[in-house]
Structure 1
């Protein structure tokens, strides 16, 4: 035996005595507070939820969600509480995610509200469903996150509790051979207002032999102040544990979430977020739809905020490197020759010369501003043409366009076009009626406000004004662009609901706050239309 070989054997023997770390994760994995891809690149989820189990035919939504800028989608599945999603169906969902370069978070919705809602499944039952899908999930660890069960406990105490049941579910998945990144939801309908997940997340992570669990909180009415949001996020950062905001909205029946702080804090901390939800909401929470009737051209106010607003999806999402994202850092060239034509009282047609990019231009953002003011995204286009609708008569606007590529890079903006819409005579008239749908101690929801064209010809836009009682404030709205001056509120149509045939109607709604004990309501609803 040579001295070199003897030395090598001695070194190997010494190394065998060094404690080895838990086995490394395959595919997506956690490291401290971060989610990493297999190559070590950080991945921050930016996207939405899609209610696939109830709308299984809406397969075009995956491409639309990608086109809106998302890098991930959380997909609702069922193992039997609703019509079960079969292995073939789930394989199709994964294929759609991969085809559209989305990381696929698959969640079992059967567990929602267990202990409080009749028919809810246990986490153990959810694991049985996942094991039945193992044949189509194995090998997808780079692309798929397994979210064991949605909001797996309500507010009632049950045995075993969240910590024990979640630890057992993760352990059983690993024993069945799953190597995926596992996501677990908080109790209290996902909002963890009792701090159970916050205080016991480390125990659940330690129960996983692969140490590959990310924790998911759902932020609705419990998180209506910046202090509550930052305190919860701080707890996970201090503990060095990975967290995502798996659901949140701009309004909810239990209060008014502070979505601006949620988005800003997630961006500054590098935390993933997935808004609820693309489309198809019912039961009084239709305002959580991000697009109307699954039509990506009809973004709602919530959709505009999530996808196109400050710290939103389009501004912050970066495609996973497994799909080629991150390697392309060069932006497209700026669109050129932006011009306007066909300007009326309520709309204008825009056109421009196409941008170029090494990996291809995926779409354009159209930016709009008042005569003086900041630009904001007014819409998106896959082509070099766009019709800006819902404009006000005799008003000056400025427009710019920028291009996007597949890696999420944005170009410099185009030249600026300034235009003034023509004067509107007001059409033949309309009416506006309103209903206070619900009240609570400090606020109320007015829905629907019904706008009806009472004239003999079609309109291209409408404006509703009304007066808030003293001390009342608008805290959110949907299906209308709302502005407030003093106690006077002005609601204008959006791009998709301004055109009304004679006798046709549309609706919008809003949420307001008021002093405790005040049961008064807005008055003086009046309506005007543009021809």
Structure 2
């Protein structure tokens, strides 16, 4: 979460940054990495983050959130952890489980220490050095996960105290060097000061020097956009500065409203898409302290999207329409599993080795008058199946505008086909796919399920 105002800039450092970033050798990369100011997977495929934050450290029981976040199209989840300074520590076994959940649900995992929030202004906040101590404690469960995990050293590590903000560059560089000296090869993400919003332009001015402190060249800068970014021109100016300088940037947090002002989420999302920058919205569920409106779903119910949830997932430049799954999960750098026509590359699309039937059942899980959210559950019959197809025609002219967990063809007369990861079902097993529809919600749908 975040706060405050704006001022300052840099010029000569911009040119130096561009030269330095371009000069970074690709051979230094392990797993997710930076090259020429962009973010890539180990196989050289560019990766643009589209995801949300999940407050795991305060709600560890809600592990279903990972599957639900994926079901709405995200390719990344930013996971809130604690190093034990302000909240209960998430130990190695817990973090290992989180990474496993990310991988099971085909999500890239950005892990962050939240205890550093507002250091210098927030009483009891942890230092970046304490955050690094924690990451080093976790080294045994993080090593080998460079294809799947980014390390966000500390959330919003400085408040607005000018004396401590002045140390942001030196402290951040020192933290990066400590992690590299300890043997970490992961992509590292560093948050801006000023509660993440960098209204003082401290990160913007010093980014080139901080980037140069990483001997692997695999540091990514993270800006949090709340009330400081209420004007579209402010959003564009900040993002373009990093892009023009050849410095890697992600919008690590943003919302549709905030206690310090009303951020321009439409411009944030549109400019991220135009510039090819990642964004991660705040947050899945569980907000308190007067900012409950930042919840994307009601009470961790993945089937009950709030207005903010509908906006970030299914609105213009939203996650569902712009996210591309990491190719580490597909094994094919040239294709997007989310647009797979419905065949499993390991099987013949014309045959079903598990010969069997399937059934499908429809439920309306959300209705807001001009649109609705539907879910279809597919269940295999008495024999295993390797792929499925569900067809239907809406009774009142409704249409599908967005969908997930299936490949969709048609809008009013619809065919939904299994993807490579959810077509294989054992006898009696079920899976589900969902969609956002335009028009009034149908009372029922007549569905035909086949396994041709």
The offset of 1:265, in angstroms, is 0.6
- The answer on 1:180 being equivalent to 2:186 is yes
How big is the alpha-carbon RMSD for the aligned residues of Structure 1 and Structure 2? 3.1
The structure in which a higher percent of residues are strand is: 1
* Larger CA Rg, structure 1 vs 2: 1
1:45 aligns with 2:43: no
1:455 is aligned to none
> Per residue, is there more helix in 1 or in 2?
2
Counterpart for residue 114 of structure 1? 119
For residues 344-370 of structure 1, the C-alpha deviation after alignment (integer angstroms, 9 at most, x for no partner) is xxxxxxxxxxxx54479xx9999x999
With over 3 angstroms needed to count, the CA separation of the structure-2 counterparts of 1:297 and 1:282, relative to structure 1, is same
Residues 143-162 of structure 1 show CA distances to partners (whole Å, capped at 9, x for unaligned) of: 00000000000000235611
Q: In structure 1, how many angstroms separate the alpha carbons of the residues matched to 2:95 and 2:156?
A: 21
Relative to the length of structure 2, the TM-score reads 0.74
How many residues of Structure 1 are paired with residues of Structure 2 in the alignment?
A: 361
State the shift of 1:22 in Å: 8.1
Q: Summarize deviations over 1:13-64 as a string: whole Å, max 9, x none.
A: xxxxxx9948611000011221100000000000100000000110000000
Q: Map residues 428-507 of structure 1 onto 2, 5 A cutoff.
A: none
> Aligned in 2, Cα 1:272/1:331: closer, same or farther, shift over 3 Å?
closer
Q: Give 4+ residue runs of structure 1 displaced > 6 Å after superposition.
A: 363-366, 368-371
| Structure 1 unaligned regions, length at least 5 | 1-18, 334-355, 386-395, 417-493, 496-531
Other-structure match for 1:489: none
Identify the residue that residue 170 of structure 2 maps to in structure 1: 164
Q: Secondary structure at the match of 2:53?
A: strand
TM-superposed deviation, 1:411: 3.2
Do 2:53 and 2:77's aligned partners in 1 also have CA atoms closer than 8 Å?
A: yes
1:94 matched to 2:99? The reply is: yes
Is the CA contact 2:80–2:114 (under 8 Å) kept in the aligned structure 1? yes
SS across alignment from 2:207: helix
The answer as to whether partners of 1:109 and 1:150 remain within 8 angstroms in 2 is: yes
Return the structure number with greater relative CO, CA threshold 8 A, min gap 6: 2
Residue 38 and residue 381 in structure 1: after superposition, are their counterparts in 2 closer, same or farther (change >3 A)?
same
What are the ranges of 5 or more consecutive residues in structure 2 without an aligned counterpart?
1-22, 350-360, 380-394, 415-440, 443-452
Partner of 1:264: 270
Which digits, 9 at most, give the CA deviation of each residue in 1:226-281, with x for residues without a partner?
Answer: 10000001110111101000000000000000000111111111110000000000
CA distance in 2, matches of 1:411, 1:158: 58
Query: How far off is 1:400 after superposition?
Result: 1.3
Alpha-carbon displacement from aligned partner over 1:151-174 (angstroms, at most 9, x marks no partner):
000000235611000000000000
CA offsets, 1:88-130, max 9 Å, x none? 0000000000000000000000100000000101101100000
Residue of structure 1 in register with 2:81 after alignment: 77
Residue 134 in structure 1 maps to residue 139 in structure 2: yes
Q: 1:64 corresponds to which residue?
A: 68
Deviations 1:369-415 (A, max 9, x none): 999xxxx8632424379xxxxxxxxxx97411368566x86533233
